[in-house]
Each structure stands twice: as structure tokens, then as C-alpha cells.
Amino acid sequence: MTEETPGFDKDEPEVPADAAQADEAAGSADQAGPAAPAGDSQEKAAATGGSGAAPEGDELQQAGLTAQLDQTRTALNERTQDVQRLQAEFSNYRRRVERDRIAVKEVAVANLLTELLPVLDDIGRARDHGELVGGFKVVAESLETTVAKMGLAQFGKEGEPFDPTVHEALMHSYSPEVTETTCVQILQPGYRIGERTIRPARVGVAEPQPGAQPTKGEESSGTDEENGGPEEG
């Protein structure tokens, strides 16, 4: 009969339950592979979640930029129309000012020349009577040249048809020598500046004689026509 050594039993020693569970977990981890770090898993999750939200953010940003671009274009068109309107108004203003300036100049020149008309009449009468001589002649011709350069033109001649728009009849008579109302005497010449008459010509007019008989030549001509022509000798 053998003696058993105290403290040694044939049965296996008991392993605590917690240690057994830890060994099982370690074995499972070895089979599954190394565990990923916690930071990498969070970045992957964020990337996975952001991939769905990124297109929506880009669309909203693009829509906002498009709206701002439309507003800018609208404002640009409005400012362009304002500038064009102001430019047209300024062009009209310049034309109006230029037209008014020319009109004022013409009125001023016409007023000046109108005041000189009596002097020109005196010069004309002196020339008709042969009194325009010496230094007076030189001054008179210089004055006439100056007013002509300013646009003053004289009109009115004997024998021209009477025109009530440019002639003023001061004398009236009948004459068998005219076939229409005719200026037969120029009492005062008329003056104009361009197309503007500043004084009509003052004239004496003659009208055809009422019931005037044709002249002898006209009578013989009419008789020959009635007889079929002059007689042949």
C-alpha cells in the first residue's frame, strides 16, 4: 500500500471561471484578426455618412450662386438702361442748346442789321443822285461789304411779278403793258437774311388794264388766223 503525498491530488487543479472566459475571448480575437484602431473607425463612419450629404450641399450652394448671378444681371441691365436714357437726354439737350444758340445769334444779327437799314437806304439814295463820292463812298462800300458778309441780301427789282409775301405795295396803277400784277417801281429795296425776310420790298405795282384792247400787231395776227393766213402776192 503506497502512501499518498499530502498536498498533491490526482485531479487537475481548478481554473477560475473568469480566466476561462478571458482565454476564450482571446482565442476568438486571434481568429478574427487584429482590431482596427478606434480613430480609423470613426473617420470611416464620418466619410460614409458625409458622402450622402455632400451632393445636397453642392446643389444648394450652386442654386444660391445662380440666384446671385441673376440679381447681378438684372441690376446691370437696369443700370445700362439708365445710362442709355441719360445719354439720349444729354444728346437731345446738346442739340436743343445748339439750336437755341443759333436762333439767338440769328435774332441778334437780324436786330443789328434792321437798325442799319435806314443807313443803307441813305447810301442807296446818295448813289442814285450821284452824291456817293470821295471818302463817303469808301465808307459806304465798306459798310455794304460788311453787312453782306453777315448774310444780309437785298432784293426787289422792277419788272418782277408782285409777291405779297416779300413785296409791300405802296402804289397801285393799271397798265396795258403788263399781263399780270407787276412791280413797276421800287420805292425801297427789301432785305433778307438767308430765308428770313427782315423787311419786304416797298414797291409800286401795276395791273393789266381792265377791258384793254389788244395791240395792232395782235389784231392783225388774229385777223390773219381767221382768214387762213396772209394773202400771197
Stretch 13-29: mean pLDDT = 51
| Whole-number pLDDT of residue 194 | 85
If pLDDT is split at 50, 70 and 90, which confidence band does 183 have? very high
Question: How high is the pLDDT of residue 32?
Answer: 47
Residue 21's pLDDT band (boundaries 50, 70, 90)? low
DSSP the chain: -PPPPTT--SSPPPPPHHHHHHHHHHHHHHHH-PPPPHHHHHHHHHHHHHHHHHHHHHHHHHHHHHHHHHHHHHHHHHHHHHHHHHHHHHHHHHHHHHHHHHHHHHHHHHHHHHHHHHHHHHHHHHHHTT---HHHHHHHHHHHHHHHHTTEEEE--TTSBP-TTTEEEEEEEEETT-SS-EEEEEEE-EEEETTEEEEPEEEEEEEEPTTPPPPHHHHHHHHHHHTTSPPP-
pLDDT score of 42: 52
Check residues 64 and 153 and name the one with the higher pLDDT.
153
The per-residue pLDDT for 53 is 53
Q: What is the average per-residue pLDDT within 103-108?
A: 90
Is the pLDDT assigned to residue 233 strictly greater than 80? no
Interstrand relation of 190-193 and 196-199 (parallel, antiparallel or unpaired): antiparallel
What gap in Å lies between CA 204 and CA 226, rounded to an integer? 39
The mean pLDDT of the chain is 77
pLDDT tens, 108-140? 999 999 999 999 999 999 998 988 888 899 999
Give mean pLDDT, residues 20-43. Answer: 50
Q: Give the per-residue pLDDT at 27.
A: 53
Look at residue 12 and tell me whether its pLDDT is greater than 60: no
- pLDDT at residue 26 is higher than 90: no
List, for residues 143-153, the tens digit of each pLDDT value: 999 999 999 99
- Tell me the average pLDDT across 97-104: 92
Q: Which of the four pLDDT bands, split at 50, 70 and 90, describes residue 29?
A: very low
**Residue 139 has what pLDDT?**
94
